[in-house]
Each structure stands twice: as structure tokens, then as C-alpha cells.
Amino acid sequence: MTITPLEVDHRSGSGSGSILEVRDLTVTFTTESGTVSAVDHISLDLREGEIVGIVGESGCGKSVTAMSLSGLLPRSARTAGSVRLHGTELIGAKEPVLRAVRGRDIAYIFQEPMSSLNPVLTVGRQISEVLQVHERLSRKLTRDRVIELLTLVGIPSPLQRIDNYPHQLSGGMRQRVMIAMAVACDPKVLVADEPTTALDVTVQAGILDILRELRDRLGTAILIITHDLGVIADIADRVVVMYAGRVVESAPVDELFARPQHHYTAGLLAASPAPGRHAGTDRLQEIPGLVPVLAVQPDACTFAPRCPAADAQCLGSAPPLTSDQNALGLLPGHAFACWHPCGKPPTSAKELKP
């Protein structure tokens, strides 16, 4: 074997500024048709003030990853591995410990701001709740802080809006309320699960601006989960590409867009529209085949059935996440899980043997 799988070091010095360290996170669900593994040995790091994007298609395990960070998955889920927040292990932590973390250290913004806000409580009430649970402020101070938060996320006339119900606000406003709720206690980590998917493009841009501003002002580390490469290109510093429960590639954002190594990443990029392309004349490329059912398949590349470069090796053993910067001229921090990366012409298994 000429390619030596290296232990990837995309943490660039463990512990140096890493707020959140995820190691070998595995989530399995027990269903009637057997055990399904939704997340398979995922590792990633989040540093202070960093925006990391997790990208992948529906069902690749990105939301499950997000939910598992603070133990929000249903009881049917089994979580293994390690999630450390400032060194504190969260996997297997007791419920009161996790409750103290949720909303205060790790906060969430969800897709669908309509259904994610409670229709029968005023937005002010819903934001105050977080403050009351974690900060125990007086009523007056809580209200002041809520108004301050609404102003921070760019809601006009917060004094009136504080007593509105979610249905009285537009989609973009609701998502701003969600953000105000999430940042109420200055969380160290903000997990935004498809924060802009349900919104208009112009509103999307506004929401992403707010997230960027929060990062700049408060140094919040943001994990943004999306299937939209446009959002990733717009906001993320680093990207983690997931496929069928595994990380297939991880790189700084420009690097990933310039030199994708995994064929899935390359396929995703080829499938997204870009300015300059003409609809009708230039068809977007699609990735053939379907996402596999998330059964446990330990010894194969999960993408192999759909991959143009797959061979016997890919079906016989799962490629580890490696970085091969020297051979391929990649930047530090670029890792991929592929036996036949795009950067080199596909080689057959025979040639790889010495």
C-alpha cells in the first residue's frame, strides 16, 4: 500500500482552543427490522469563534449528530463515543448535568421556525424561559434582557414584539426569535440545524449575517448543519461532509470547494447550480443511485455502490479518514476517507500493491 492511512490531525493541536471535541461518536437505533446505525464513528472539533458546516443529504446523520451532542435524542437511541465540552464528558452524563448544559452552553436553532416555537406562548415568554432556568434573573431584568436580545437579532420595535405570539410574526422574524432564544445565555456552542432552509433567499442572507455577527461579537462557536452548499460557502470556515453516517471529507471551506477529494463531495459540488451555468444547456450532474439504508456495514466504503471510482478494495474495506497533503498538494486540515481520491487518477487495487 502506498497510501499510508494517517491518523488525521484536523484538530491542529488537541485542546488548543477546542471547545467541543467529538470522538468516535456512534449513534444506533434499535428498530423492528434490526439495529440501524445513524452515525458511525464521527470525530470533529469546534474551536472558539469558528463556524463549522456539516453538509450532506437528508438521512446522512447530520441532525442526529447535532441532537446527540447534548443528549436530545429519543430513548430508543444508543450513543457511544465521546463528546467533550471544555473537557467535560457529555456522553453518558446524568440528565441534570445535560439540562444545565442545554440552552446555556450548547444552544440550538432548528429548521421550521413556525413549528419550533410554541404557538400558545408569547415570544417574550419563550425567550425568558431560558433566562429563568439558567440565570435566575428577576422579572424586570429578564424582560430587559429579552428586549436587548430581540434588538440584537434585528427585530424592529421589540417592545411590541415581545408580547406577540409566533403566528403574528413572519418566518424570518420567527427565526430571529429562535436565534434570540438560543443566544440568550451566551452559549459557547450554537448548533444551527438547517437554520435557513424554510426561508426566502433574502431572509436567508439576513439570518446568516446575524450568525456571523454573533460569532464576531461574542466569539460563539457555530456548528451549522445544512444540505445547502451555498450556505456553507457563505458562512463556514471549515466543512465536514457526511455520507450515510460517516464523515467522508473534512477541509477548510475554500480548500474543499477547490480540491474535493472524495467522489461524493465532488458529486455534490457538480450537482449544485453555480452562476454562469445556463439552465437547459448545462444540466446539473446528479449522483446515480440512492443513499443506502443505514444498516451496519463496517467493512466497505458506504459510497462504493454509487461511486464512479469504486473497485474491489472499496467493497472489501472501509477507507479511514486520512490526509495525504504531500502526495496531492492539499492544505493542512484537509482529510478524506477514500481509497481513490479525486486528486489522483483512479488507480486499481493491483497497482497499489508494492
Partner 1 sequence: MRTYLLNRAWQSLLTLILATVVVFLGVRALPGDPALALAGEDRSPETLAAIRLQYGLDQSIPVQFGHFVNNILHGDLGTSIRTGTPVSSMMRTALPVTLQLAVFAIVLATIVGVGAGVVAAAKRGRPAEWVANGLALIGLSVPHFWLGLVAILYLAVATGLFPASGFVPFTENPVENLHHILLPVVILGTGLSAVIMRQTRSATLDALSADYVRTAKAKGLRPSAVIGRHALRNSLIVVVTIAGLQLGELISGAVVTEQIFGLPGFGKMTLDAVFQRDYPVIQAVVLVTATAYIAINFLVDLLYSLIDPRIRVGGEAA
Decide: is 161 part of the binding site for partner 1 (CB under 8 A): no
Give the whole-angstrom CA distance, residue 127 versus residue 176: 11
Bridge-based pairing of strands 34-47 and 18-31 is antiparallel
By C-beta, is 191 or 304 nearer to partner 1? 191
Annotate each residue in 121-150 with x if it binds partner 1 (CB under 8 A) or - if it does not, as one string. Answer: xx------xx--xx----------------
Decide: is 110 part of the binding site for partner 1 (CB under 8 A): yes
CA 157 vs CA 145, 153, 160, 164: distances in Å: 15, 12, 6, 11
Decide: is 70 part of the binding site for partner 1 (CB under 8 A): yes
- In angstroms, give the least distance from the CB of 72 to partner 1: 6
Looking at 27, 39, 54, 101, which residue binds partner 1 (CB under 8 A)?
Answer: 101
Looking at 28, 37, 65, 116, which residue binds partner 1 (CB under 8 A)?
Answer: 116
Residues in the chain, how many? 354
Q: Which stretch binds partner 1 (CB under 8 A): 163-171, 225-233, 267-275, 328-336?
A: 163-171
Sheet of strand 51-55, all strands in order from the earlier edge strand to the far edge: 106-109, 189-193, 221-226, 51-55, 238-243, 246-252, 335-336
- In angstroms, give the least distance from the CB of 157 to partner 1: 18
**Cα dihedral 54, 107, 332, 306 in deg (nearest 10):** -10
Range list of β-strands (E), the chain: 18-31, 34-47, 51-55, 77-85, 88-89, 106-109, 189-193, 221-226, 238-243, 246-252, 335-336
Q: How many residues bind partner 1 (CB under 8 A)?
A: 29
Give the whole-angstrom CA distance, residue 337 versus residue 354: 21
By C-beta, is 210 or 256 nearer to partner 1? 210
Alpha helices, DSSP H only, in 219-262?
229-235, 253-258
Q: Which stretch binds partner 1 (CB under 8 A): 3-11, 43-51, 117-125, 137-145?
A: 117-125
Give the whole-angstrom CA distance, residue 103 versus residue 187: 7
Decide: is 257 part of the binding site for partner 1 (CB under 8 A): no
On whether the CB atoms of residues 121 and 165 are closer than 8 A, the answer is yes
Residue 100 pairs in a beta bridge with none
By C-beta, is 174 or 259 nearer to partner 1? 174
On whether the CB atoms of residues 220 and 190 are closer than 8 A, the answer is yes
Decide: is 99 part of the binding site for partner 1 (CB under 8 A): yes
Q: Which stretch binds partner 1 (CB under 8 A): 2-10, 35-43, 115-123, 213-221?
A: 115-123
- In angstroms, give the least distance from the CB of 165 to partner 1: 4
Decide: is 118 part of the binding site for partner 1 (CB under 8 A): yes
Q: Which residues in this chain contact partner 1 in the complex, by CB under 8 A?
A: 70, 72, 99-104, 107-108, 110, 112, 115-122, 129-130, 133-134, 165, 167-168, 178, 181
